[in-house]
Chains A and B, each alone.
Chain A
Amino acid sequence: MTTATLGGMPAITYNFAYLDEQTKRMIRRAILKAIAVPGYQVPFAAREMPMPYGWGTGGVQVTAAVLGPDDVLKVIDQGADDTTNAVAIRGFFEKTAGVATTTATTEATVIQTRHRIPETPLRDDQILVYQVPIPEPLRFLEPRETETRQMHALEEYGLMHVKLYEDIARHGHIATTYAYPVEVAGRYVMDPSPIPKFDNPKMDDCPALQLFGAGREKRIYAIPPHTRVRSLDFEDHPFEVQRFAQPCALCAARGVYLDEVILDDRGGRMFVCSDTDYCESRQAAGHRGEMAPPDAALPQPVSPRGEDATRVSDDASSDLSASARGRPAGAGAGAGTGAGTGAGGTEAGHD
Chain B
Amino acid sequence: MTEQPLLIAETLGKNYGARIGCRDVALEVYPGEVLAVVGESGSGKSTLLGLLSTELEPSAGRVSYRLRDGSLRDLATLGAAERRLLMRTDWGFVRQNPADGLRMAVSAGGNVGERLMAVGRRHYGDIRTEALDWLGRVEIAADRIDDDPRSFSGGMRQRLQIARNLVTRPRLVFMDEPTGGLDVSVQARLLDLVRSLVSEMGLAVIIVTHDLAVARLLSHRMVVMRQGRVIETGLTDQVLDDPREPYTQLLVSSVLAA
Residues of A within 8 A of B (CB): 141, 150, 153-156, 158-159, 161-162, 165-166, 168-170, 233-237
- The listed residue (A141, A161, A169, A170) touching B122 by CB distance below 8 A is A161
Please tell me if the beta carbons of B106 and A158 are within 8 angstroms of each other in the complex: no
> In the bound complex, do residue B122 and residue A162 qualify as a contact, i.e. CB atoms below 8 Å apart?
no
Do A235 and B122 contact each other (CB < 8 Å), given the known contacts A162-B114, A165-B117, A170-B146? yes
Q: Is the CB of B17 closer than 8 A to any CB of chain A? A: no
A233 contact set on B, CB distance < 8 A: 122
A237 touches B84 (CB 8 A): no
Q: What distance in Å separates the Cβ of B213 from its nearest Cβ neighbour in chain A?
A: 36
Q: Does B21 lie at the interface of the complex (its beta carbon under 8 Å from any beta carbon of A)?
A: no
Instruction: Given A154-B84, A159-B114, A161-B117, decide whether A236 and B106 contact each other with a Cβ distance below 8 A.
Output: no
The answer on a CB contact under 8 Å between B110 and A162 is yes
Which residues from A are CB-within-8-Å of B128? 169
- Point out the residue from B80, B117, B118, B124 that lies within 8 Å of A168, measured CB to CB: B124
CA of A237 to CA of B127 in the docked complex: distance in angstroms? 12
Instruction: Give the residues in chain B near A159, CB-CB below 8 Å.
Output: 114, 117-118
Q: A150-B80, A154-B81, A158-B118 are in contact. Are A165 and B109 (CB under 8 A)?
A: yes
Contact-residue bracket for chain B: 20 to 34
Task: Name the residue of chain B whose CB is nearest to the CB of A168.
Answer: B124
Supposing A234-B122, A234-B123 touch, asked if A156 and B106 sit within 8 A by C-beta, the answer is no
**Residue on B with the closest CB to A142?**
B103
Q: Beyond the given A141-B106, A158-B117, A169-B145, could you list 20 further A-B residue pairs with CB under 8 A, ordered by the A residue number?
A: A150-B84, A154-B80, A154-B81, A156-B118, A158-B115, A159-B117, A161-B117, A162-B106, A162-B114, A165-B109, A165-B113, A165-B117, A166-B106, A166-B107, A168-B124, A169-B128, A169-B146, A234-B122, A235-B122, A235-B123
Chain A residues whose C-beta falls within 8 Å of the C-beta of B109 in the assembled complex:
165, 169
Q: Does B70 contact A (CB under 8 A)?
A: no
A-B contacts, CB under 8 A, total: 57
Q: How many angstroms from the CA of A150 to the CA of B80 in the assembled complex?
A: 9
Residues on B with C-beta less than 8 A from A235 are: 122-124
Residues of B within 8 Å of A158, CB to CB, are 114-115, 117-119
A-B contact pairs, 11 of them (CB 8 A): A141-B103, A153-B80, A155-B81, A161-B117, A161-B122, A162-B103, A165-B109, A166-B107, A169-B109, A169-B128, A236-B123
Residue of A nearest to B84 (CB): A154
Q: In the complex the two chains form, is B80's CB within 8 Å of A165's CB?
A: no
**Could you mark each residue 27-46 of chain B with 1 if its beta carbon is under 8 Å from any beta carbon of chain A, else 0?**
00000000000000000000
How far apart are B150's CB and chain A's nearest CB, in angstroms? 14
Interface residues of B, dominant DSSP = helix
A contact residues around B124 at 8 Å (CB): 165, 168, 234-237
Chain B residues 57 to 112 lying within 8 A of chain A, measured CB to CB, are: 80-81, 84, 103, 105-107, 109-110
For residue B246, CB closer than 8 A to chain A, the reply is no
A162 to B164, CA, bound (A): 13
Kindly state the separation between the CA atoms of A162 and B128 in the bound complex, as whole angstroms: 11
Q: Which residue of the partner chain B has the closest CB to A174? A: B124
A156 touches B123 (CB 8 A): no
The minimal Cβ–Cβ distance linking B176 to chain A, given in whole angstroms, is 20
Tell me the bound Cα distance from A155 to B127 in angstroms: 20
A161 to chain B, nearest CB (A): 4
Closest Cβ of chain B to A137, distance in Å, is 15
Q: Give A155 to B110 CA distance when docked, in angstroms.
A: 20
Residue of A nearest to B81 (CB): A154
**How far is it, in angstroms, between the C-alpha of A303 and the C-alpha of B106 when the chains are bound?**
46
Closest to A154 in B: B81
In the complex the two chains form, is B118's CB within 8 Å of A165's CB? no
Interface centre among B110, B115, B125, B145 (most CB of A within 10 A): B110
Chain B contacts of A150 at CB under 8 A? Answer: 80, 84
A158 to B112 Cα, complex, angstroms: 12
Q: Mark B123-141, 1 if CB is under 8 A from A, else 0.
A: 1110110000000000000
Residues of chain A lying within 8 A (CB to CB) of residue B106 = 141, 162, 166
In order of increasing CB-CB distance, the 7 nearest A-B pairs are A158-B118, A161-B117, A158-B117, A234-B124, A154-B81, A235-B123, A169-B146
**Closest Cβ of chain B: how far from A80's Cβ, in Å?**
35
Whether the pair B81, A169 counts as a contact (CB closer than 8 A) is no
- Smallest Cβ distance from B101 to chain A, in angstroms? 14
Question: Which residue of A is nearest B114, CB measured?
Answer: A162
CA distance A236 to B124 in the complex (A): 6
Contact of B84 among A156, A161, A165, A168 (CB under 8 A): A156
User: How many Å lie between the Cα of A161 and that of B113 in the bound state?
Assistant: 10
